[in-house]
Structure 1
Amino acid sequence: MRNLQQSSGVLALIGTYLLWGFIAIYFGAVSHVPPMEVLAYRVFWAAVFYGLILLVQGRFSEVPTAMRDPRKLRLMLLAGLMIAANWLLFIFAVSNGHATEASIGYYILPLIAAVTGFAVFREKLGRWQIVALLIAASGVLVLTLGLGRAPWVSLLLAGTFVIYNVIKRTLKDVPSLVSVMAEVILLVIPAALYLVFFGETLWQAPLSPAWWQDQLLLMLAGPITAIPLILFGYGAQRVSMATTGIISYMNPTMQLLVATIYFHEALTIWHGIALALIWLALAVYTGASLRAHHAAK
């Protein structure tokens, strides 16, 4: 029974990271829509999709209950702003030819998370984990010097998601789906107002075939946002943190393949050197984490 649960958990995580890995193709399909407008649609339809799931489960009443606590409400608002910033950065990156940098952001995310865990939660770092972080930092430095600018898209994508995770850790007593629903509810009114007053797609040739095509395409932002998170929640409960961490590298790898093969973005020598250093850092860090995990058993 336990092996069956682990297998189903692994399959759920693989599904999660495949969907996240290919999500850039979807945002490429709506790249003719301004990034801020795509974000507004994403927030709106994600709220609708999450709300339907909670209604079917008979759990929607848990959302206002969680939002009555002023401290939790502030944290969920901050979490919502962080995930919205992360979504907007990714949409901007794909729409403006920076999908490669976005994939690098998700490669360095586990390493930035480790530094944050050490700084915020006083989590211990072993010698080889520190070595891995230094190698990753050298990769970012190489990319900065080679491109003549810091890889801000990569750093901000990783940074906003890490901050989001830090906030979520302080909301452990709020179920994940309830918390996410509260986050998008807090953003859905500004999103709807933006679409009404500034939405180009909403008012451009209304009810024409092209209008319906755009609206149906943008409506998909709801399930595309929600389904991977639901799969992730299912898988993370059944699989060890170490396994989850290893499988997570599928996401940026698929994103990198999509960026270079599907979007035909150039992969410079500087990207190659930086990626080699980051991959080395991830290998060292994962190996050290696995040894620590087995030693703790």
Structure 2
Amino acid sequence: MARSGGGDPQHTSAFIAAVASFATWGLVPIYWKLLSRVPALEILAHRFVWTIVFLGLLLSWQERWREVIGNLRRRRSALFCLGSGIMVGLNWLLFIWAVNIGHVLETSLGYFMTPIVNVLLGAFILRERLSAWQTASIVIALVAVSILAFGYGHFPWIALGLCTSFGLYGLLRKQSGTAAIPGLFLETLFLLPLALVYLVLLANRGTLTFGPSHLSLSAILTTSGIVTAVPLIWFGYAARHLRLVTIGFLQYLSPSISFRQIRR
């Protein structure tokens, strides 16, 4: 069970990891805009491939393959990793597609809604207690987000999809009981075959945006594994050691940074 004591070194490191992951995600739209000429599905497929490559190298360096095999053999851990992998895959696809077509504002709205989803999941599913000020804060946030959503002009289905998928990802990730790097490797591994099949189909059609004729885009796509994996490793560590309610409140950092990027 995650500890909540502020003096616990593990709690402190998990807190720092959460802040680092959300700050990184707040800046990531700048990176994905560099790939605006690449179809969203192809970017998603590359994220799976290059994330596996990066994590494989990391696991080999740390000599942690036994953890991966052990988690794979435990039915409960494997199923939770499969579920969280599906959720994060849906989140990635929706996010990249929305950013590439210019819906950055709605993605930020979605990530303003995500902390509320995390807090509610923590309170009602995991039975985590809310203090009086936390309850008041979440009520105010609900009212504010409702006003923003109403003023958006149409039903914010992108925002709703983002907050639901990532909220469920955090819940499943926390309940999987797997360490950050081995768990993320399994999440990505389960969906890797679909990514590879899709990239092969694109290559056969001659529409793959990767190779000698697309050197700059290929270089950026290759780094997508690091951009994807590092904040998720931090988040996975934080989710294991912090309450979901705490993570929810910290998560407001990400959309706040994204909104600042939009205003520039």
Shorter-chain TM-score: which interval?
0.7 to 0.9
Write the letter of the residue equivalent to 1:190: L
Offset of residue 251 of structure 1: 1.5
Matched, 1:207 2:212: yes
Offset of residue 6 of structure 1: 8.3
Offset of residue 125 of structure 1: 3.8
Offset of residue 47 of structure 1: 0.8
1:238-249 aligned at under 5 Å gives the runs 247-249=250-252
Give yes or no for contact 2:108–2:255 (8 Å, CA) kept in 1. Answer: yes
Aligned partner (choices 212, 219, 222) of residue 219 of structure 1: 222
Residue 66 of structure 1 corresponds to 71
Aligned partner (choices 102, 106, 121) of residue 126 of structure 2: 121
Q: Max radius of gyration: which structure?
A: 1
The 3 A distance-change label for structure 1 pair 217 and 41 is same
Give yes or no for contact 1:201–1:214 (8 Å, CA) kept in 2. Answer: no
Give yes or no for contact 1:100–1:260 (8 Å, CA) kept in 2. Answer: no
Question: Deviation string for 1:43-88 (max 9, x for gaps)?
Answer: 1100110111001000123212211223322221111000011111
Tell me, in whole angstroms, the C-alpha distance in 1 between the residues paired with 2:228 and 2:154.
31
Question: Deviation string for 1:163-185 (max 9, x for gaps)?
Answer: 1111122212x212111101101
Question: Deviation string for 1:222-269 (max 9, x for gaps)?
Answer: 0111222334566778999888666543221111112232xxxxxxxx
Residue 184 of structure 2 corresponds to 180
> Structure 1: which 5+ residue stretches go unaligned?
262-297
Number of aligned positions between the proteins: 257
1:226-265 aligned at under 5 Å gives the runs 226-232=229-235, 247-261=250-264
Residue 197 of structure 1 corresponds to 201
Offset of residue 144 of structure 1: 3.7
Supply the RMSD in Å over aligned alpha carbons. Answer: 3.1
TM-score (norm 1): 0.75
Identity of aligned residues (%): 33
> Structure 2: which 5+ residue stretches go unaligned?
1-6
Question: Deviation string for 1:77-123 (max 9, x for gaps)?
Answer: 11100001111111112111111121222222222112122332233
Tell me, in whole angstroms, the C-alpha distance in 1 between the residues paired with 2:218 and 2:206.
8
Tell me, in whole angstroms, the C-alpha distance in 1 between the residues paired with 2:258 and 2:134.
25
Give yes or no for contact 2:174–2:240 (8 Å, CA) kept in 1. Answer: no
Tell me, in whole angstroms, the C-alpha distance in 2 between the residues paired with 1:237 and 1:65.
18
Offset of residue 149 of structure 1: 2.0
Offset of residue 158 of structure 1: 1.3
